[in-house]
Structure 1
Amino acid sequence: MTKGMAWHHVPTDLNPADVVSRGCTPKELLEHSLWANGPPFLLKGASNVDAIKNLPERRSTALIGTVGTDISINCKFLNSFDKLQRVFAYIYRFISNCRAKSLPSTIYLTVDEISFGTVLLLRSIQQVHIAVEYEVLSQGKPCPPKSKLISLKPILSSEGLLRVFERLQNASLDYEVKHPILLPKDHPVTGAIIVYYHEKYFHAGPQALLAALRQRYWPLGGRKFVASVINKCFRCFRMKPGASEHMMGSLPVDRVQPNPAFHTTGVDYCGPFYHKSEARNKAPHKCYIAVFVGFSTKAAHLEVVQDLTTDSFIAALRRFISLRGRPRTIWSDNATNFVGAKRELAELKELFLSEPHTASITSSCLANGIDWKFKPPRAPHFGGLWASHVKSAKFHFYRVVGAAILALDELRTLAYEISAILNSRPLCPISENADNFEMLTPAHFLKGSSYTRFPEPDVTHLYEGRLSS
């Protein structure tokens, strides 16, 4: 627009505006020649170009427009997804109130406002960081053949979000599961979403976290990005020391033969833990967690054992049988495994070594048609399956609770939640194919789907034989 014109730069010492902006008293301002007369080269006339030829020439700049503006970048809650959702929920409420010219019915945010605010947030991100595909699809054209998203077959949904297209249109699944929302790679909000669900699922690993995350979101470069975010988790880093690896033998028959979930079960104790006393000003009570693991499916069940008595363990075993069914065989550690135990495991060693305890457990199992077996003495590699689940249970417990002492009900609730997370871990590697929307987990053998699936809408009030519009 200014072609043919000469542009020159005015230095700071010749700029009258800087006299006031940098601080000046009224008396100094009246006596200041630069403020009163302006720069000296202006007094010499426009024809005297020699006075300003020595001034540096300003470089020209080009303005580049984008489809939208990523309004999340300047938000101070950029690293916290749940707070960011509420911020944009209030933005959506403000926009809606301005259009409707009415006040909200409640001062508290609603679920719909949180949902629409999240859509507003993710749409602004996609319009900037996936701008080429977004602009093409918004014009009704197919995705460009040279696009990096061509394998995902992206579509533009009714709310203006880019989603993954899958061949599961006729499946009775939620729309969010069939069409996950695309998230750009290396974006702070994508990292905040991964951190949010990483903490929500008690610091789950990359495989389990990505499996749960893809039921609603599809982060580009998912495996590497999720692993890089988890590697920055300070608590996980502190809780994961390096260990040496050993050569493992062949798996036993019960591990590789098809059987019901808990047909052959291993049991072990996890702890000790402490829970608050029901009476005030009393010391916390010691308790343990019994870990039951199915051999063929790796399904886990955690039960809180209030004390180290035979009756408490039998009660926990009866609760396990009532919820998961009666196993055919139960394996447990041999008492000699606790010979070199530390002081806090001395009571557990005494329980396993006691003859009355073994006799009571054996008689109770025989009455229910259960064959109780002990692994060979001084053979810790025989109990690797339930030992790994004990390690995983402690993995989630100590990262969430830390040094805090919970009440007995809170501890029991946490044990069941950890059971659900352990049963939602993938049994096989995660595929990068968008059509493989769900991974096989132990929970599929227990209830038909993962426990960490996002909630689907309630359709029980709809008529079964109605036609879809």
Structure 2
Amino acid sequence: MSYPLTPGDVDEVRHFWIRSVQQTYFAAELKILSKGSHHKSNPRANLTPGGRPTQAFTSAALSKTPPDLTKNVATNGSYWILGGQAPVRAHILRCVTCARLRGLQAQQLMGQLPPARVTPSQAFLYSGLDYAGPFTIKTWRGRAAKTYKGYFAVFVCFATSAVYFELVTDYTSEAFIAAYRRFSGRRGICHTLYSDCGTNFIGADAELELSSKLAQQK
């Protein structure tokens, strides 16, 4: 054999090793086949040699009738691998990335919606509240303009999912009360307003409750 190898030399070497592997691992099967008989326990019995693409228009013979090889031989996908499913499964089970992707994700059940979310009502009668920001706000345009942090009070209607934004100048209870008065002046007073336990919301709740009691006494 001369060097460099020609395509014909490469095919000859490939066929040599295919025959060597088959004679080593399939000696009993080759003996049965040489007698013209067929044994049902032969692992090749589950295959259809050549399969449906036998009449395919291609010059690559291995793509029509790929030779049989044992599962202990690494190949590039051009051969029938008898019993190849077991080593593939073993490789996948040893793969850390595959194990991470196969992991079962948490499947928590969602809680029941409160009545305010499923009962038709006036817009913003039942609302949720939170802040968005901070944002940089300018006192005015032009030279010597000062900037400070501001926030958006986000009101979300539970019944309609409508959203209303109101600008808040700082994180104090007084600033929130001013924003809430502007909101209620346009959208009406909320029957129930849900929020987190922010100190500005707790302070505003106490102040509004006190103002309501003083108004009732008068």
Per the normalisation by structure 1, the TM-score is: 0.21
Per the normalisation by structure 2, the TM-score is: 0.43
Q: Which of the pair is proportionally richer in strand?
A: 2
**Higher CA-based Rg:** 2
